[in-house]
Amino acid sequence: MFSVRFALLFCALSYFPLAARSDIARSSTQQSPKSAGKPNFIVMLMDDMGWGDLGVNGEPSKETPNVDKMAAEGMLFPDFYSANPLCSPSRAALLSGRLPIRNGFYSTNERGRNAYTPQDIVGGIPDYEILLPELLQKNGYRSKIIGKWHLGQQPRYHPLRHGFDEWFGSTNCHFGPFNNKNTPNIPVFKDADMVGRYYEDFPINRQTGEANITQIFINEATSFIEKQAAAGQPFFLYWAVDATHGPVYASPDFLGTSRRGLYGDAVRELDSGVGRILQLLEKLQVDNNTFVFFSSDNGAATYDKAKGGSNGPFLCGKETTFEGGMREPAVAWWPGVVQGGQVSRQTGNLMDLFSTLLDFANIPAPSDRTIDGISLRPALLSNNITDRPIFLYRGDLLMAARVGQYKAHLWTWTNSWTEFQHGTDFCPGQDIKGVTTHKQTNQTASPLLFDLGSDPQEKYVIPPSSLIYKQQMPAILKAVKEHLATLKPGDPQLNWCDPAVMNWAPPGCEKLGRCLPVPKSQPTKCVWVH
């Protein structure tokens, strides 16, 4: 019988000529984390890419050969989660190592509502949160973010104020085009200053989906890596590309090349970027001193149906705390350190990257606050498993918890009947009675229990009268009780909106002669429909 490792290698090798295969079987005698000095780090965070979008996870078109090869050369984490089913809170959690309920990336305007950072949001990442690049910067690293920040767009919240040394990208998602009268187009920044706006200086054709933005993001990444390698400078690259977030886009060389339509074109182009970055690391001979992790901020947007991504076998998608909303594609790669062709059954979370990178850099985590991430080092180096619970929040409400392979829903909700009846469906084709509810349903008196081992689709509720329920539920409820007993929520950052804080006059606009009139301040409570 083939081993899992051999099967992964065989799957990925089928995409590559013999000349490219010799690097896969690297000697285990290469540098260890201890002997290699300060390792470099690259986090590749996709936007709304689903668990089922990777060929290695079963996508039938097999259009991610580079990420699949990355998995064959590294470690696949099939049980890996985001920290929230929506972009901004998930990204805040990754960089802080803390749940959004702790770092303030939530709203109390309405119970259990997802919230994020549109350009009229007043709040952002608080100064009291210590982000990963801040800690790395103090220890000799140079850090760059490429792509979407999404942690607040007022200047005091920008990346260079929170530990990053370089930035090329935007504060917000590439929505638009806007008219620059009621709503300004989203600015693109190079470091501290705006260098243009989406749809104006960085065109996106809403009819064809054509845009060269991903190629710009790829080139920014390779230039940064080359510069740091030449200088012998340890670096952290946060490659937060967003082409798979609607409106989806791709460059001319990729348009029309996928069997999956425009979304597949975007996936193929991002996959090519992964390949270019990994190949460059090998060319520069820094691959055995560079830890690379590939994942996504939340599940695919199933409400886009065939025009969006795939969550594989999992229930529902983005915005929900069902598996499709928070189970993410995840691959780790570090030649000579992480043995290739492995599958880890470690239950992971984006917040674990905070703890893992600090561990490998030999930097202590802050001791004055709760850190929700754990170090994945034991899993990466020895494929050892650390028992830990996973808590799944929607806004300020703890919706579900997972311990081992069992998951309990304390609350259930997809989206409202009103939205559903107007065509917005978070679970298209996946209606499960009593589970995919269209109103917030309190299940805490008898939580809905699922065995994610035998039922990863969350289709079959385990009866409370069953032996399995009686055996497994106490451990989950204990974990929940302990978590809530010590929880100290952060100040909610996503309660207030104001048109005056929008991107009318971003830093650098005066140099371009592109500042827009700022309207009168009119703060109001944000409305979050989901």
Catalytic residues: 87, 150
Q: State residue 454 phi and psi, 5-degree precision.
A: -90, -15
Counting Cβ atoms within 10 Å, is residue 381 exposed (0-12), middle (13-18) or buried (19+)?
middle
Find, among 311, 301, 180, the residue nearest to 248 by Cα.
Answer: 301
Find, among 306, 321, 216, the residue nearest to 263 by Cα.
Answer: 306
Q: What pairs with residue 497 in β-bridges?
A: 121, 524
Helix (H), strand (E) at residue 92: helix 87-96
Rounded to whole angstroms, the Cα distance separating 426 from 432 reads 12
What lies within 8 Å, CB to CB, of 325 at 6+ separation is: 85, 298, 299, 311, 316, 317, 318, 319, 426
**Residue 132: strand, helix, or coil:** helix
What lies within 8 Å, CB to CB, of 182 at 6+ separation is: none
Asked if 350 contacts 357 with a C-beta cutoff of 8 angstroms, the reply is no
Rounded to whole angstroms, the Cα distance separating 14 from 10 reads 6
Rounded to whole angstroms, the Cα distance separating 249 from 430 reads 28
What lies within 8 Å, CB to CB, of 18 at 6+ separation is: none
Find, among 142, 129, 128, 94, the residue nearest to 351 by Cα.
Answer: 94
**Residue 481: strand, helix, or coil:** helix
CA 322, distance to chain mean position in Å, is 16
Asked if 67 contacts 295 with a C-beta cutoff of 8 angstroms, the reply is no
Rounded to whole angstroms, the Cα distance separating 358 from 372 reads 14
Q: State residue 154 phi and psi, 5-degree precision.
A: -70, 145
**Residue in the block written with tokens 């009866």:** 463
Asked if 302 contacts 426 with a C-beta cutoff of 8 angstroms, the reply is yes
Name the maximum alpha-carbon separation found in the chain.
70
DSSP 179-222: -SSSSPPPEEEETTEEEEEBTTTB---TTT-B--HHHHHHHHHH
What lies within 8 Å, CB to CB, of 528 at 6+ separation is: 107, 109, 110, 113, 114, 115, 395, 494
Rounded to whole angstroms, the Cα distance separating 370 from 154 reads 27
